[in-house]
Chain A
């Protein structure tokens, strides 16, 4: 079983739609949860970061963590063509650990 599972998509939605991206993980010891956005032929960039169960909002983006189900989500409201990218979830064991475990990434296209 992979440590982090993410539906690779691709996912294509019309502009303005609400997008839901999801990951599941197997190790309940994981404590830190991140979402990266990666544009084509670019390096990943950190989008959001949380370490507790519940929701965290940043503008049109909401990160949700459910530790009891080992499930994390990223919601994008009022999606824009500029949101078209690959979204990677990443999970870390604890603050001192150097190992970041990435999901496979979901390729998202927002159609104007």
Chain B
């Protein structure tokens, strides 16, 4: 059972470039989330989804976009990368909406230079 799989693990982007962070889960969870973790700042919610075709903004959505065409996949798109988007990105999924059973992926370390 793979759980939540994120790719890539590491990436360096130049300012203005775009990329998609991939997230896939094999637990048939309806709820999926994207967080970013900056040093000493905890995790902040970027976007979340309550099911295929339904997404909503979290606390820090600016500069990001998401889509949810299937239950399994929840990609995060960065358009026009900026140094402020240098962070570690975590995808999570849960069966229940209260996130108490949330499972996190291993993270993607992104550096924008």
Contacts and interface: CB of A to CB of B under 8 A. Distances in A.
Interface of A: 4, 6, 8, 32, 34, 41-46, 49, 88, 90, 92, 95-100, 102-105
19 contacts: A4-B42, A6-B42, A32-B100, A34-B100, A42-B106, A42-B107, A44-B43, A49-B100, A92-B98, A95-B98, A98-B33, A98-B58, A98-B99, A99-B59, A100-B33, A100-B99, A103-B42, A104-B41, A105-B40
B79 interface: no
Q: Which range contains the number of B residues in contact with the other chain?
A: 20 to 34
A46 B102 contact: yes
Interface of B: 4, 31, 33, 40-45, 48, 50, 56, 58-59, 90, 92, 97-102, 104-107
- Nearest 8 interchain pairs by C-beta: A43-B104, A102-B42, A95-B98, A102-B43, A104-B42, A49-B100, A98-B48, A44-B104
Contact of A100 (B41, B45, B56, B105): B45
Contact of A46 (B4, B101, B106, B107): B101
Given A44-B90, A99-B58, A88 B98 contact: no
Nearest to A50: B100
A88 B48 CA distance: 20
Contact of A96 (B40, B56, B97, B102): B97
A8 B102 CA distance: 23
Contacts of A45: 104
B90 A43 contact: yes
A99 B41 CA distance: 16
